[in-house]
Amino acid sequence: MKLSHSLISLAGLALVNALPQASTSTPSSTSTPTQTASGSFATKSGLQFVIDGEAGYFPGSNSYWIGFLTNNDDVDLVFDHMSESGLRILRVWGFNDVNEVPGSGTVYFQLHQDGVSTINTGEDGLQRLDYVVQSAEERGVKLIINFVNYWNDYGGMNAYVQAYGGSSNADFYASSEMQAAYQAYIKAVVSRYIDSPAVFAWELANEPRCQGCNTSVLHNWIEETSQYIKELDSQHMVCIGDEGFGLDTGSDGSYPYGYSEGSDFAAALTIETVDFGTFHLYPSSWGTDNDWGNGWITSHGAACEAAGKPCLFEEYGVTSDHCTIEKPWQTTALNTTGVSADLYWQYGDTLSTGASPDDGNTFYYGTDDFECLVTEHVEAIEASGRG
């Protein structure tokens, strides 16, 4: 999801948090996970994901903001509610790139300035992500952790471009300097949580595109980066984080099926170091309608089935009528053999500071929408025999 107002809301949240909660227990700088706390590493078997030794279909959600919270109790609350509700996977931002050090109390993970990148491992840096991993691990929730944003929210590829020179995100893929900085960041994050059973998968980026580029640009970058991650960590799964653009299977010729964003979904799935497919669904942003989304889901499921890898229906959301619009998508995904998990965009809850950030697509724990799209969905998964 492209977020336009998120930085503002989070900056406010961080400011409020900085005052009374600054002394909440400090996470340890090194994570010391235990295999026993929440079972074995997540993996896949054929077209299905495997969590804690069980293959099946898994429900989950997204929270771009959880790693930027400064109050540990808020992090714990989210994972408590998730695990009680049966949500098994949370996708979080493992990046937060800046070009200037923000004000005190605002979390950032990496500073890019004048051709130099510096990773922030302090209390307002990766120690916040450490706590997310620790809390998820204690509650048996699995995490998808990604390394850079295509969009400018929380810096993104543009933060690298600003520091190293260039005019667009296409330069990010092409620059050996930027790729070296990106890989150094990947190495820092992967080595921090390499032993953690809380990691479901490492993810290259949020919604990587290269508009108007030959699809070989993204393809080669996906191949190189996924190979690099597998060399660092052969045990955890690796995925792309793309929207699923560029697909002939089931294509109706509409924009998302086309190749104009430089993406080739089926070709990327042939890369050995990519464990599973990811795709998103935002009909209103893509000029398609809500019902069209059902075909988008089955098309990707079919492509994943053909590739012999599971598909993760990784983001879907609307700004209103959540239950009416999103429920059919969940039903379709659960009924599609090649799809093995779905994560709605995005998770909402009531934190110590009030409602968690809402980019427009949030629905909240404890609401009727939550009952419809989480509680009933979890029941439907169990009833389907795929649970």
Ligand X SMILES: *[C@@H]1O[C@H](CO)[C@@H](O)[C@H](O)[C@H]1NC(C)=O
Give residues with Cβ within 8 angstroms of 106, minimum separation 6.
11, 14, 15, 18, 124
Q: Which CA distances in Å does 311 have to 163, 314, 336, 339, 372?
A: 35, 9, 10, 5, 23
CA dist 193 and 143 (Å) reads: 11
Give residues with Cβ within 8 angstroms of 187, minimum separation 6.
232
Site string for ligand X, 15-54 (x = CB under 6 A): ----------------------------------------
Asked whether position 216 contacts ligand X by CB under 6 A, the answer is yes
- Establish whether 177 is a catalytic residue: no
Smallest distance from the beta carbon of 183 to ligand X, in angstroms? 22
**Terminal C-alpha separation, the chain:** 27
Smallest distance from the beta carbon of 250 to ligand X, in angstroms? 16
By DSSP bridging, strand 54-56 and strand 48-51 are antiparallel
Smallest distance from the beta carbon of 216 to ligand X, in angstroms? 4
Site string for ligand X, 368-387 (x = CB under 6 A): ----------------x---
Q: Binders of ligand X among 329-358, rule CB under 6 A?
A: 335, 337
Closer of 227 and 331 to ligand X (Cβ): 331
Nearest of 138, 71, 83 to residue 351 by alpha carbon:
71
Please check whether residue 39 is in contact with residue 185, taking contact to mean a CB–CB distance below 8 angstroms: no
Closer of 279 and 282 to ligand X (Cβ): 279
Closer of 248 and 321 to ligand X (Cβ): 248
Smallest distance from the beta carbon of 346 to ligand X, in angstroms? 26
Closer of 264 and 326 to ligand X (Cβ): 264
Asked whether position 214 contacts ligand X by CB under 6 A, the answer is yes
Task: Look at the alpha carbons of 97, 101, 103, 105 in this order and tell me if their dihedral is positive or negative.
Answer: positive
Please check whether residue 193 is in contact with residue 33, taking contact to mean a CB–CB distance below 8 angstroms: yes
Q: Which of 203, 207, 243, 314 is catalytic?
A: 207
Site string for ligand X, 157-196 (x = CB under 6 A): ----------------------------------------
Nearest of 330, 318, 335 to residue 378 by alpha carbon:
330
Smallest distance from the beta carbon of 381 to ligand X, in angstroms? 10
CA dist 154 and 260 (Å) reads: 25
- Establish whether 224 is a catalytic residue: no
Closer of 149 and 215 to ligand X (Cβ): 215
Half-sphere exposure in the Cβ direction for 311 (13 Å, CA) = 29
Nearest of 56, 59, 53, 54 to residue 83 by alpha carbon:
59
Smallest distance from the beta carbon of 377 to ligand X, in angstroms? 14
Please check whether residue 63 is in contact with residue 81, taking contact to mean a CB–CB distance below 8 angstroms: no
Neighbour-count burial of 231, counting CB atoms closer than 10 A to its CB (0-12 exposed, 13-18 middle, 19+ buried): exposed
Nearest of 322, 256, 318, 328 to residue 287 by alpha carbon:
256
Smallest distance from the beta carbon of 306 to ligand X, in angstroms? 16
Number of residues located near ligand X, criterion CB under 6 A? 5
Q: Which of 223, 243, 305, 315 is catalytic?
A: 315
Smallest distance from the beta carbon of 87 to ligand X, in angstroms? 20
Asked whether position 260 contacts ligand X by CB under 6 A, the answer is no
Closer of 216 and 319 to ligand X (Cβ): 216
Helix axes 376-384, 322-334, angle to 10 degrees: 20
Closer of 211 and 384 to ligand X (Cβ): 384
> Strand ranges (DSSP E) for 173-228?
199-203
Closer of 121 and 337 to ligand X (Cβ): 337
The residues binding ligand X (CB under 6 A) are 214, 216, 335, 337, 384
Looking at the annotation, which residues are catalytic? 207, 315
